[in-house]
Amino acid sequence: MGLLVMISGLVLFLGVHALTTQRILRGRLIASWGEGGYKLGYALASLAGLTLIVWGFANYRTSGMIELWSPPKAFKHITVALMLPAVILVVAAYVRGRIYTAVKHPMLTGVKLWAAAHLFANGDLGGIILFGSFLGWAVFDRISLKHRTDAGAPPIPVGGMGNDLIAVVVGIVAYLALGFAFHPIVIGVPVFGA
């Protein structure tokens, strides 16, 4: 049951996020609902999808995971190592500096790193579906960005090295918080020292 709920959540969450790649449909929805209505609907559908993903995956994990293969212990260390740049990249998507300019889409790159890293460490069906779906979506969205032409969109201000320093420091703090608190307490899987 949990796996089905998680998959439903993935369809809703990633489907709503894929909607942004459909510029004509997105434009029609904004014209029909207004900018605020569109953003509210987008946020509520995303939250509902995320809730289903989290609940479904937690239920799947507690009711017995379906192991497909057993990753070597070294893969866990690779995952832990890849998560630091992944978190920094996600922060750099919001604290825009030279990292943002160099990577162009640090949020998508961070999601791809997060998903690929977790595919290394998880050999169960639910983990493969969860992380594989996010990796597939991030690749799809990045490809769609290369083909988008949103003429007239105002440029987003980008700072300098100070913003990069902030992104790195906040990224390291978030990485440590995720590894020492969130992952072992919420997910139930220790990251460091296990």
- Mean per-residue pLDDT over the chain, rounded: 90
Per-residue pLDDT, 152: 46
Residue 151, pLDDT above cutoff 60: no
For residue 37, the tally of other CB atoms under 10 A from its CB is 12
At 162, list the tokens.
Answer: 């100070």
d(CA 3, CA 34) in angstroms, rounded, equals 35
pLDDT tens, residue by residue, 31-44: 999 989 999 999 99
At 139, list the tokens.
Answer: 């690749």
DSSP 8-state class, residue 149: -
Q: How confident is the model at residue 153 (pLDDT cuts 50, 70, 90)?
A: low
CB neighbour class for 98 (10 Å; exposed up to 12, middle 13-18, buried from 19): middle
In the chain, domain spans: 1-64, 67-194
d(CA 41, CA 150) in angstroms, rounded, equals 22
Q: How confident is the model at residue 194 (pLDDT cuts 50, 70, 90)?
A: low
Q: Read off the pTM.
A: 0.87
